[in-house]
Structure 1
Amino acid sequence: MNDKPPFFPDELQSFLETLPEPRILVDPDYRILSANAAYRRAFGNPRAILGHTCYEISHHYDKPCDECGESCPRQTAMKTRQPGRVLHLHHTPRGQEYVDVELIPIHDARGKLVYFVETMRFLHETGDQPGALGMVGRSPALLQMLALLNRAAPAMTPVLLLGESGTGKELAAQAVHALSPRRNRPFVPVDCSGLSENLFEAELFGYEKGAFTGAARRKTGLAEVASGGTLFLDELGDIPLHLQVKLLRLLESGTFRRVGGVETLRADFRLVAATHRNLEEMMEAGTFRRDLYYRIAAFPIHLPALRERREDLPLLAEALLARLAPERPLCLSVAAMARLMQHGFPGNVRELRNILERALLLSDGDTLDLAHLPEAVAFVRQAPAAQNLPDQEILSLDEAERRYVRRALRQLGGDKRELARRLGVSERTLYRKLG
């Protein structure tokens, strides 16, 4: 099968055919010229994409993705004449998937840009099903975080996840594990909050039979259970100062002994740690060891709060409702979604899930409305200075909905199809709501 244009060099076509990842050839005007064998295996007959633009196929946009608020590796590649790489959410035959996109510029003998070779590495190809990483969204903040997780995953470098409660730190740790070469080995989470000294050592290192009263048999520690895999220390900042030295010794030496044991065992795990605390402030206060911090903080990653990626709310709500009630075709009314978009979400995604779980229990139909949201969310208390507004300032729900929809449409660059999808309504309904 030959899908190359007549002016495409045979040597380059032959080279692309041998590469294991799906790759396409793109001209300087974003037009797709050719696709290799790996692409054909992943997507079938590529003739449907030849001649179309890459942004049309991958994003369903009518203009380049960097003009629609997306980062584009093309800009980096053109400026530096080096490969550019970003993480995108692409439309694929399997639905929307996270894709690590690398763009390599190719110049002719005179230095003129003639082609881009685009390589696609799908995050689901870690052996999990699409979406199994558990993260949903397309905001710049989320994609930047996912890109960092994807970069860190193949290495053994310790990863430190920083973020508020409810931002999904354990999901992020599982993503690092799933994207790593250790994905088929154990992922072992350890909740560090509230562990006493004896319990900390017993849980992490294990103990021998008879090591203390009640030790009726040998217990394997979690550092040993995680052998070959990933050890996830959640809420690391809650470990008392006198226990931190024991953890540091484990990380520095790579060895440990069970409580009551004399045999030295070798640790073989990849460390991922997480905390909602500010470790730098704790170091200044003397409640967190500097040497431990520098041992675990080689690759810190900030997990954005929900208010930092508010545009992901429609996608998140859709995904959560599908998980909470897979048998019901649930959606949020435009008014309910507009109110959620204004909410602060101090509890982040965990709070959103609780709100939706309550709403679906209160709703007898398939549409969750304002009346189904908690009172503290559905109704905003006005500040005293704003209580005596003139009548003309009070909008009807229809007008408030219309203004919200128009504002959302402007944020999406006029893409009515995408807005209808995010709002969970048909395009015909959207046009009616736009008035």
Structure 2
Amino acid sequence: MPFPRNLPLEDVFASIADGLFTVDADWNITYFNESAQRITGVSYAEAVGRKCWDVFRSSLCDGNCAVDHCLRRGVSITNKSIFIIKNDGSRLPVSISASALTNSDGEVVGGVETFRDLTEIQAMRRKVKDLYRFEDIVGHSPSLDRIFRILPQVSSSQATTLLLGESGTGKELFARAIHSLSPRRDKPFVPVNCGALPENLLESELFGYKAGAFTDARHDKPGRLEMAEGGTVFLDEIGDLPGPLQVKLLRFLQEKTFEPLGGVAPVRADVRVVAATNRDLEKRVADGRFRQDLFYRLNVVTFHLPPLRERREDIPLLVEHFVEQFNAIQGKQVQGVSEDVLLLLLRHDFPGNVRELENILEYAFILCSSGFIQQEHLPDSLQAGAEPAASAGGLHGTLEEIKRRAARHAVERNQGRRMAACRELGITKDTLRRLLDSKE
């Protein structure tokens, strides 16, 4: 299927910034534009006539060929992120779109694919990611910016701080950030999950016990408050703290002293308290399940941490953060997520918030060893919400049909100004008129 040499839009295809190539039904490359040559480092003469997999050696050439997928299923692929291996062995990230090519009788005679070099885009993303990282918290949404602006001042104070937010919003990350930005940064940070232990065990964990306090207490055991001396104790799920322990915690916040189980004298501790909960504490106060005086003691400075669905602009940054993290942990070279996967993630509501996103990517890393994470690497529950890929930028159908669509879209982009469309496409007025007047 040689590329016709006498068509005006050949010059357009030759000069576009994206690489473009076509193959015949036997996967032999029949056209290879100038951008394809520049991006791959392979000349027209070297490419044409060879099998496409010999030229590209991409992450999809192991049985997941994009053009083959289009030919077999009759669909188009748009903006799928993969990588190709250049002649020097280096990996080049690209975004591809592909579709089948048909003749005037509707018979499939080959395929067409465009690809875009993502190297500079990825470099820019890395720079942007560094700009929007505060301690270990990644984001640049307005809701987070408001918190970031006052977090240093709050951290440098001694004020008790309350973090409110749904499960998975990163409350412990914020607590650690408060500690690391405070004068107590060189002292211990001690977390306690108030909802994970029964009341009797939680009391001994928090306040410790003296030898003989109960049958198995043969030695003194310091509690978490004592272990955090000079530093910060993080009381997670404070809304689940049992009533009797609320009284003991209130006394500590008021007097900075506590009594271990079996103790007869108060113990003083210089500890800052940061508490967190996903509960509605005001409702629990109204229901009598949480002490009002303790609530006021905890509610000196309060941060409301936004759920991920309210800061979707942070999802790409978080994805890159977790990909980088899992690559380091697992020793892999995953490049990131494909553009269709990113669109799917941006549409997802994330009831589990940032923790759910982290779990999704950790699952994907099990199935994806390199290249870009694709939809097939995602959990089934997330794939169920995937929509079919859109048309590959108008690249389906015969070459004449592609030309007509290119002409029509150029006129639309130029608000109906036909001369501007002619200049954009590099064609004459008569050619444009013929393309617009012809029927698909």
TM-score of Structure 1 vs Structure 2, range by shorter chain = 0.5 to 0.7
Checking the alignment, whether the CA contact within 8 Å between 1:223 and 1:269 is kept in structure 2 is yes
1:251-290 equivalences under 5 Å are: 251-290=253-292
Aligned-pair Cα RMSD in Å: 2.5
Corresponding position: 1:229 with 2:231: yes
Moved over 4 A (4+): 91-95
Equivalent residue for 1:315? 317
Equivalent residue for 2:181? 179
1:46-85 equivalences under 5 Å are: none
Question: Pick from 131, 142, 145: which aligns with 1:140?
Answer: 142
Equivalent residue for 1:15? none
Checking the alignment, whether the CA contact within 8 Å between 2:334 and 2:369 is kept in structure 1 is no
Question: Pick from 392, 402, 407: which aligns with 1:398?
Answer: 392
How far 1:221 sits from its partner (Å)? 1.1
User: Aligned with 1:273: secondary structure?
Assistant: strand
- Could you list the runs of 5+ residues in structure 2 that have no partner in the other structure? 1-124, 395-440
Equivalent residue for 2:345? 340
1:214 maps to amino acid: D
How many residue pairs align between the two structures? Answer: 268
Equivalent residue for 2:326? 324
Q: 1:286 to 1:168 in 2, by over 3 A?
A: same
Corresponding position: 1:377 with 2:411: no
TM-score where L is the length of structure 1:
0.58
Q: 1:364 to 1:225 in 2, by over 3 A?
A: closer
Equivalent residue for 2:210? 208
Distance 2:128 2:383 in 1: 36
Question: Pick from 117, 120, 130: which aligns with 1:96?
Answer: 130
Q: 1:174 to 1:355 in 2, by over 3 A?
A: same
User: Aligned with 2:311: secondary structure?
Assistant: helix
User: Aligned with 2:302: secondary structure?
Assistant: strand
Checking the alignment, whether the CA contact within 8 Å between 1:167 and 1:305 is kept in structure 2 is yes
User: Aligned with 2:135: secondary structure?
Assistant: coil
Distance 2:311 2:204 in 1: 40
Deviates more, 1:372-381 or 1:322-331: 372-381
Distance 1:379 1:300 in 2: 38
Question: Pick from 166, 177, 185: which aligns with 2:168?
Answer: 166
Equivalent residue for 1:247? 249
Distance 1:259 1:179 in 2: 33
Checking the alignment, whether the CA contact within 8 Å between 1:148 and 1:301 is kept in structure 2 is no
How far 1:167 sits from its partner (Å)? 0.6
Comparing both chains, which one has the higher relative contact order based on Cα–Cα distances under 8 Å and sequence gaps of 6 or more?
Answer: 2
1:339 maps to amino acid: L
How far 1:243 sits from its partner (Å)? 2.3
Distance 2:134 2:140 in 1: 16
Checking the alignment, whether the CA contact within 8 Å between 1:187 and 1:231 is kept in structure 2 is yes
Distance 1:336 1:380 in 2: 11
Equivalent residue for 1:105? none
- Name the % identity: 48
Distance 1:235 1:210 in 2: 30
2:205 maps to amino acid: E
Distance 1:138 1:197 in 2: 40
1:168 maps to amino acid: G
Distance 1:92 1:323 in 2: 13
Bigger radius of gyration among the two: 2
- Could you list the runs of 5+ residues in structure 1 that have no partner in the other structure? 1-90, 99-130, 383-393, 401-435
The Cα offsets for residues 204-255 of structure 1, whole Å up to 9 and x where unpaired, read as 1111111111001110111111111001100000112232111111111211
